[in-house]
Chains A and B, each alone.
Chain A
Amino acid sequence: MTQLPASLGRTFLLAAGELGFFSAARVFVRETAAAYGADGVRALREQHGREYSVLDAVAARYLDDGALPGVDATRATAALHGASRVLVVGFEADALDLLVPTLSALPVGLLMQRSLGPVDWDRVLANFDDRLTAVPFDDLQKWAGSRAALLTFVYGTAGSLAHVSSEWLRVMGPDVRPQFRTLLGWDLLPVGPEVYPRWLANAEVGTFSALV
């Protein structure tokens, strides 16, 4: 089996902290495939898939289709139509890189809350050329409103449960739900993970006003 760098798992977690699990997984599968081909991607799944379910799912998709899973912001943009502002909970670089430019008229906030370790927020925000506003957790209520939207990323569903980042569970409570008109889940892995989604949390699909 292809020998992968010993530090790969830790490096993946670091990348996932600032890029998001899905975006980091795309980078790692792409680079592993470029260095060692499909054998390398199989080794990546074998050695790190059980630890990182999103990495496993992206690698599986690559091995099945010969291509990385894509990202399309069309449906998310449509679901946010009519919103006066959008607060993003969790982070996915590839998805937000596409979505934020389509919301040019709206204020878009990013909740400064990550459970995966220290994040350089200045660097994260610098990639959006001041279009994203950093929102401390205590300022959550300031973004609420009759036309406000909350957006998070979903990494597949299993029955009535959606796999989400743990930040969503911190935000989503009975007191917060009525304060936002739209609670949007953007599913980046509709097929869902094949292994236990460690590092993720489960939320009832019904808590979302829309899942795209």
Chain B
Amino acid sequence: MALRQLIPPAILFITLLAQALVPHLRLLIVMTGAAACCLATSVTGVATTEALLADVPWGVLIILVGLGLLAELLAAGRLFGPLAVRAAVASGGRPQRLRLAFAAGMFVVSGLVNNITALVLVLPVLLVLLRTGDARPRTVHWTIGTLLVACNLGGAATPIGDFPAILLLSRGSMRFTDYLLRALPATVVALALLLGCVGLLVRPERGVDDDPLARRLSLAVTTALHRRVRPAPGPVLPSVLGLGAMLLAWTFLPERLHVGPALVCWLGVCVVLLVRGRQGERLARTRVDVEAVLFLLGLFVMVAAVRRAGVFEALGDWILGLPLPPRGRMVVFLALAGVLTGLFSAGPGMAALLNVGEALTRELPGPSVYVGLALSVCAGSSLFLTAATSGPLAQALVERADLRDADGRPVHFGFLQFLPVGLLSFALIEGVAIAYGLLTTR
């Protein structure tokens, strides 16, 4: 490989490493890395900046921004808070049932809205329950940790839940229903395995006596704090109807019309926001997640530079040249994808690996490779607290909640506390990803 081909991947690697090591500067680091890639490819004649920008999958960014705004409207409609309280009441305040109810709820919510919004909508109710009830460290770590992993799994379950699946959808790698019908059952299996392992093997509440008054108080206070919070029909109805219409369009619009997923989202969200008038305008002006858009734009530019340099093609050829049967090569690829995502987080992982994965589809069915890849990326996102953006947010929310155990000592939730949950989740989800790949390519 020529030197000019090696410069873009070297910049990409250094940038990803730097943003993982210095997360508080990650946006600036990624944008600088992208500019450096543009400079390198321009000077060496690999590609002009205009060519790299033309390679950016703008549809992904449109879907991310559109669904983000829709999620903001749903949040303004207070739809999920009352549902979370109902789940808490249904669980009777028992920690194990609470974990089940909230993990299942988070799985569903994060399948519809992005993970950050899902977390912001659901976690506060759980934190109130933990603050007023059972805040023993082991319970807190496994309950919130499981919730985070359920959030990642929910995001991987639908084509609109999280970035990796949105990328598959908007690039046309998979159609909406094709992805949903394959990924949803696989993620449900992974969630059931995780909850089963936590409930039956880890048993975070073992050796602790049940205190009925503590449970009663915890539920009573949580209910009182949300006593009259009701979904506001104004924002909720247009959001739900708009999302329903988009789902129908993604599923049933014939390809010959050339109305892609991004255009469906673009139009749908604009109509929903227009229906809300001033509120819609205010959301569009102030609530676009600029940080996520710029971060992904920078990544896409770097990935485009690496692709133009022919590196992904070479990597794909290398994987195809491994002295293994095709399914063995897929297992190696999926395992690598999981570990790399754990180190570099889901956005970079998926953006780069999808290009390599496409090589595997020359000898294996595309859906098996793509869904396996999305599940592996989900496994990697669940490995460390820092691997997904929802992790640091959860950490901040928990610290702000000032949880304390029965003796008044602060209960922390950070990298080390999440690690046991992450290792178990990674093993289970990666196992499901590989099993899915093997079973569907028999």
Contact = CB atoms under 8 A, between A and B. Distances in A.
B298 interface: no
Given A19-B225, A129-B228, A31 B404 contact: no
Interface residues of A, number: 32
Contacts of A4: 213
A8 B217 contact: yes
A49 B229 CA distance: 31
Interface in B55-84: 78, 81
Interface centre among A11, A32, A117, A129 (most CB of B within 10 A): A11
A10 interface: yes
A35 B216 contact: yes
B213 A31 contact: yes
A129 B226 CA distance: 12
Contacts of B232: 129
Interface string A107-130: 000000000011010010011110
A32 B213 contact: yes
Interface string A155-188: 0000000000000000000000000000000000
Interface stretch (A22-30, A142-150, A189-197): A22-30
A23 B212 CA distance: 21
Contacts of A118: 400, 402
Interface string A1-40: 0001111101100110011000110011011101110001
Interface string B131-170: 1110100000000000000000000000000000000000
Contact of A15 (B124, B132, B212, B400): B132
A97 interface: yes
B228 A97 contact: yes
B221 A14 contact: yes
A68 to B, nearest CB: 13
A30 B213 CA distance: 11
Interface in B377-419: 400, 402, 404-408
B406 A27 contact: no
Interface centre among A4, A8, A126, A129 (most CB of B within 10 A): A126
Contact of A123 (B124, B131, B400): B124
A5 B211 contact: yes
B228 A14 contact: no
B406 A23 contact: no
A14 B132 contact: yes
Nearest to B217: A31
A70 to B, nearest CB: 17
A36 B229 CA distance: 30
Contacts of B282: none
B203 interface: no
Given A10-B408, A11-B131, A120-B124, A35 B224 contact: no
Given A117-B402, A123-B81, 18 more contacts: A5-B213, A7-B404, A7-B408, A8-B214, A11-B131, A15-B221, A24-B221, A31-B217, A32-B217, A35-B213, A35-B216, A93-B227, A118-B400, A120-B225, A126-B81, A126-B228, A126-B229, A129-B232
Interface of B: 78, 81, 124, 131-133, 135, 211-214, 216-218, 220-221, 224-230, 232, 400, 402, 404-408
